[in-house]
Copies of this chain bind each other. A is one copy, B any other.
């Protein structure tokens, strides 16, 4: 980038609301120019349907441009050096829809490109209250003339198909000739990617032009994919203000619509381009593309008719409504206050309540993991959304239900019973190319069941349970019942699975898997008995239910009596220890420096597994067991996965190691803002961001909900003076405010007849809508010294 010359003052944001409060906004300046791709992820906007990465309006330089539509993808062939039965032959890969963010600028013939000329100011802000990204740039072109560019970009939360940008340019010092091109561009060039297995594959020119039309400054492009046979349409509608004397022209090619403006800009004059974009997609199915084109044209024009200011206001209202439930106030650490709001903002904008859509691992913020959704969604994201936006959680679970056919087919192909959902997918079919870490990760099915049970417990939505949830519970219970077997010891065993920890694989009796399978089996049995007619339609009879209960009751839980700890899986505590003394800092992440042959057979844990079992199924362990298990596994967990810090934080808090818990929370919540894993460029780690909320609410709030009732055992680390958060519970908004001295529970929106039952540190409380309840925070027993982490792997200490 050119040098930074703070010649003109930053203007105050033009969007009302945040006024420079860094706890409500994330800011990047020219100094962050070397982290373009990371910034694009951080500034990504989404409404659960459209995802616009935070690229510059002018398109270049870029890190990884991306315009994503939820579920829009291409398929590519997988090839294996050695084939195996039921190895997936095709994989889904997220691809970009046409990019309608682009507004390019030429100043005196020089293209605006921050790598050239001189930057007077460059300031971009993700405004967490307004739900927009705002940008101010003052730039001297290499030829001398200087301009100021300002833009506001939004992806409309209340209007599924719509995103918009308002862009302004002014001459600063002298009259200048400008050329402005507002583009919608398909098959935008993208950079090649690394060999890292966690990155995305790249398909070049994935879109084939099917149809296009221009009408004055507006236009529409329709394209299709080859193998996934999806059609995508983008329409743009422009609103242009120029000084007199500007010429306007429209240009179209199969892959590009362009509105070009040419003229001379004098100081004090400005050009303002407001672009309203609408996106839809549909299966091709041999159909005529024009209806879809007409639809998006109408959507874009409707948005223009409403006006950008109205979109901004509606956006603000939608965000305000979300924050009313979702805001977390964390007094005592402004950086983490900002970070938790950043985390929650991205969670909220990742999904939608309408339609049956899930949430990929990166949301719609990047193409990491090929844009796939993984078990993170049910394992980390939905438990949070169940409390903050239950309709969005329901939508994601309906998506799983809509793909039960593929899951049943996959189970049949694998010669298993019931249904088994894919480890990673966009379209619903298994896309993993390494079965020991994927197909063998059967716990994804119990994670889905768990998300169903939690959603129903939190909402009381028995209609959903009957229509959707029960079938998911039944088919997953059938999977477990058929997969497991009763051993010589009379216990029910699950052999040859892979648990959450990817540094072990194909193990017997993984405690996490076994316990979530138990919960799955019992949950299915309970639900079938609550909805007997639906169950009967699904072919469930009392004998089958009895079989589920028998298996659940006999689930084996391996325990090492000598060491007094649970075994992550059978025999784990007898494996060789990892040689941490001869492992250097450069050896992390271990998976890039050691073969699975070494990792799998030793006591080294990539990510919480037994600890996650204690988080997910807290009632299965005594307090003493938890304390011993936390100490044992803390010493062996290297956190090479961003999924790990959160459950470790929750359990560290539960057993009383509050400073450790706080540092783990910080690691979880700063995963992307601080780019701790150097992978934020590929998109945000939504599970880690969700995990940060869990670390606060389950860890310091002490929330437990696995038995269908709310209980809180709050305890605050010294760094947090006050922690306030809300939950939705059976339609109510429950507000919890914690300080060192007391916990305060309230139903701020409820009438006096409303009642919520909860537990506070073992005390049963009936909270009604009339008044808040406060209780003292009990002293936490001294847990003794903090358990050691592997050398160099403790979470960083907060200043």
Q: Could you list which residues of chain A lie within 8 angstroms of chain B, going by C-beta atoms?
A: 78-86, 88, 91, 195-197, 413-416, 432-437, 439-440, 485, 487-488, 493, 495-496, 505-506, 508, 562, 570-571, 574-576, 591-598, 600-602
Task: Decide if B86 touches A576 in the complex (CB within 8 Å).
Answer: no
Q: Which of B86, B432, B440, B574 contacts A82 (CB 8 A)?
A: B432
Compute how far the CA of A493 lies from the CA of B435 in the bound complex, rounded to whole angstroms.
26
Q: Which residues of B contact A78 (CB under 8 A)?
A: 81
Asked if A82 meets B197 with Cβ closer than 8 Å, knowing A506-B506, A596-B435, A600-B506, the reply is: yes
A280 to chain B, nearest CB (A): 31
A449 to chain B, nearest CB (A): 20
Q: Which residues of B contact A592 (CB under 8 A)?
A: 85
Q: Which of B83, B414, B575, B596 contacts A598 (CB 8 A)?
A: B414
Task: Decide if B439 touches A597 in the complex (CB within 8 Å).
Answer: yes
Q: Which of B86, B434, B574, B575 contacts A84 (CB 8 A)?
A: B434
Task: Decide if A81 touches B85 in the complex (CB within 8 Å).
Answer: no
A83 to chain B, nearest CB (A): 5
Task: Decide if A505 touches B506 in the complex (CB within 8 Å).
Answer: yes
Task: Decide if A487 touches B433 in the complex (CB within 8 Å).
Answer: no
Q: Which residues of B contact A435 (CB under 8 A)?
A: 595-597
Q: Which residues of B contact A570 (CB under 8 A)?
A: 571
Task: Decide if B595 touches A84 in the complex (CB within 8 Å).
Answer: yes
Minimal Cβ-Cβ distance residue in B for A591: B85
Asked if A594 meets B85 with Cβ closer than 8 Å, knowing A576-B495, A600-B496, the reply is: yes
Q: Which residues of B contact A495 (CB under 8 A)?
A: 575-576, 601-602
Asked if A80 meets B80 with Cβ closer than 8 Å, knowing A415-B595, A488-B574, A601-B496, the reply is: yes
A601 to chain B, nearest CB (A): 3
Task: Decide if A595 touches B433 in the complex (CB within 8 Å).
Answer: no
Task: Decide if A440 touches B597 in the complex (CB within 8 Å).
Answer: yes
Q: Which residues of B contact A496 (CB under 8 A)?
A: 597, 600-601
Q: Which residues of B contact A414 (CB under 8 A)?
A: 595, 597-598
* Interface SS of chain A: loop
Compute how far the CA of A598 lies from the CA of B597 in the bound complex, rounded to whole angstroms.
21
Q: Which residues of B contact A432 (CB under 8 A)?
A: 81-82
Compute how far the CA of A78 lies from the CA of B600 in the bound complex, rounded to whole angstroms.
23
Q: Which residues of B contact A197 (CB under 8 A)?
A: 82-84
Known: A413-B595, A506-B506, A506-B600. 9 other contacts (CB 8 A): A84-B595, A84-B596, A85-B596, A488-B562, A495-B575, A495-B602, A496-B597, A508-B571, A508-B601
Minimal Cβ-Cβ distance residue in B for A434: B82
Please tell me how many copies of the chain the complex holds: 2
Q: Which residues of B contact A437 (CB under 8 A)?
A: 82
Minimal Cβ-Cβ distance residue in B for A598: B415
Task: Decide if A595 touches B83 in the complex (CB within 8 Å).
Answer: no
Q: Which residues of B contact A594 (CB under 8 A)?
A: 85, 415
Compute how far the CA of A496 lies from the CA of B416 in the bound complex, rounded to whole angstroms.
25
Among A487, A592, A598, the one with the most B-chain Cβ atoms within 10 Å of its Cβ is: A598
A699 to chain B, nearest CB (A): 33
Asked if A83 meets B195 with Cβ closer than 8 Å, knowing A440-B597, A505-B506, the reply is: yes
Can you offer 12 A-B residue contacts whose CB atoms are under 8 A? A80-B81, A83-B195, A83-B197, A84-B595, A84-B596, A85-B591, A436-B506, A485-B576, A495-B575, A496-B597, A508-B571, A570-B571
A274 to chain B, nearest CB (A): 44
Task: Decide if A439 touches B595 in the complex (CB within 8 Å).
Answer: yes
A399 to chain B, nearest CB (A): 24
Among A84, A432, A592, the one with the most B-chain Cβ atoms within 10 Å of its Cβ is: A84
Q: Which residues of B contact A602 (CB under 8 A)?
A: 495
Q: Which residues of B contact A196 (CB under 8 A)?
A: 83
Compute how far the CA of A414 lies from the CA of B434 in the bound complex, rounded to whole angstroms.
19
Q: Which residues of B contact A600 (CB under 8 A)?
A: 496, 506
A296 to chain B, nearest CB (A): 35
Minimal Cβ-Cβ distance residue in B for A83: B197
Minimal Cβ-Cβ distance residue in B for A438: B82
Q: Which residues of B contact A485 (CB under 8 A)?
A: 576
A643 to chain B, nearest CB (A): 17
Top 6 closest A-B pairs, CB basis?
A81-B433, A496-B601, A82-B434, A495-B601, A485-B576, A78-B81
A562 to chain B, nearest CB (A): 7
Compute how far the CA of A586 lies from the CA of B505 in the bound complex, rounded to whole angstroms.
30
Compute how far the CA of A574 lies from the CA of B562 in the bound complex, rounded to whole angstroms.
23
A367 to chain B, nearest CB (A): 16
Among A196, A414, A433, A506, the one with the most B-chain Cβ atoms within 10 Å of its Cβ is: A506
A679 to chain B, nearest CB (A): 15
A533 to chain B, nearest CB (A): 32
Q: Which residues of B contact A85 (CB under 8 A)?
A: 591-596
A418 to chain B, nearest CB (A): 14
Minimal Cβ-Cβ distance residue in B for A442: B597
Among A436, A597, A601, the one with the most B-chain Cβ atoms within 10 Å of its Cβ is: A597
Compute how far the CA of A570 lies from the CA of B575 in the bound complex, rounded to whole angstroms.
13
Task: Decide if B86 touches A595 in the complex (CB within 8 Å).
Answer: yes
Compute how far the CA of A743 lies from the CA of B505 in the bound complex, rounded to whole angstroms.
53
Q: Which residues of B contact A440 (CB under 8 A)?
A: 597
A407 to chain B, nearest CB (A): 15
Compute how far the CA of A430 lies from the CA of B601 in the bound complex, rounded to whole angstroms.
21
Q: Which residues of B contact A79 (CB under 8 A)?
A: 79, 81
Minimal Cβ-Cβ distance residue in B for A498: B597
Task: Decide if A433 touches B80 in the complex (CB within 8 Å).
Answer: yes
Asked if A434 meets B598 with Cβ closer than 8 Å, knowing A485-B576, A562-B488, the reply is: no
Among A78, A82, A416, A505, the one with the most B-chain Cβ atoms within 10 Å of its Cβ is: A82
Q: Which residues of B contact A487 (CB under 8 A)?
A: 574
Compute how far the CA of A597 lies from the CA of B495 in the bound complex, rounded to whole angstroms.
9
Compute how far the CA of A496 lies from the CA of B436 in the bound complex, rounded to whole angstroms.
13
Q: Which residues of B contact A505 (CB under 8 A)?
A: 506
Minimal Cβ-Cβ distance residue in B for A485: B576
